[in-house]
């Protein structure tokens, strides 16, 4: 059984179960979930994502293995990150996403790849929903961005 993550009208996360296993619904996927999470993080970094965090969710929930969380400074940048992550998964891994939420509003874009869920936020929305604090027991996976946040270099 797999899950599909989406938002309701109040931006609450809804998890829907499906009898289709992720590998059935996402096509022929290469690489494990950690590798795929790190590819998403690197792709977000390459499109100038900020404050990129990878959380290992395996000990906390059976619904997914990893969260990748990143911030963007504009709607255009959030769209670029989303599209480039989709491209990296489809072209590089043969994997297609199961769902997307929030693209039109572009305050919180959620990309659902079954065992890897990617959250792309504008900074104020990320602070408001505090996903890292909500899932504070999750272990952080080491990830070093190649493009340090501008705020870190000042």
In degrees, rounded to 5, the angle at the alpha carbon of residue 109 between the alpha carbons of residues 43 and 95 is: 50
pLDDT of residue 24: 33
pLDDT per residue as tens digits for the range 74-97? 999 999 999 999 999 988 888 888
In this structure, which CATH number among 4.10.520.10, 2.40.50.100, 3.30.2350.10, 3.30.460.10 belongs to the domain 2-143?
Answer: 3.30.460.10
pTM of the predicted protein model: 0.76
Window from 7-11, 31-35, 45-49, 110-114 with minimum mean pLDDT: 7-11
Strands 2-7 and 108-112: unpaired
Q: Characterize 12-39 residue by residue with b for buried, 16 or more Cβ atoms within 10 angstroms of its Cβ, and e for exposed.
A: ebeeeeeeeebeebbeebeeebbebbbb
The residue ranges of every structural domain in the chain are 2-143
- From the list 117, 122, 27, 140, the residue with the least C-alpha distance to 78 is 122
Whether residue 7 has pLDDT greater than 80:
no
The β-bridge partners of 66 are: 56, 116
């Amino acid at each position: 059984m797999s899950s599909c993550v989406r938002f309701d009208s109040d931006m609450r996360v809804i998890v829907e179960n499906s009898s289709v296993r992720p590998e059935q619904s996402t096509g022929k996927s290469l690489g494990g979930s950690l590798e795929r999470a790190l590819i998403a993080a690197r792709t977000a970094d390459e499109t100038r994502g900020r404050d990129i965090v990878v959380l290992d969710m395996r000990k906390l929930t059976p619904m997914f293995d990893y969260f990748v969380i990143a911030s963007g400074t504009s709607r255009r940048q959030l769209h670029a990150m989303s599209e480039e992550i989709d491209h990296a998964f489809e072209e590089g891994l043969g994997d297609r996403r199961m769902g997307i939420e929030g693209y039109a509003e572009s305050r919180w874009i959620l990309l659902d790849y079954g065992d890897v869920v990617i959250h792309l936020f504008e900074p104020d929305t990320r602070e408001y929903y505090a996903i890292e604090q909500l899932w504070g027991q999750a272990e952080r996976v080491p990830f070093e961005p190649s493009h340090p946040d501008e705020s870190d270099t000042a």
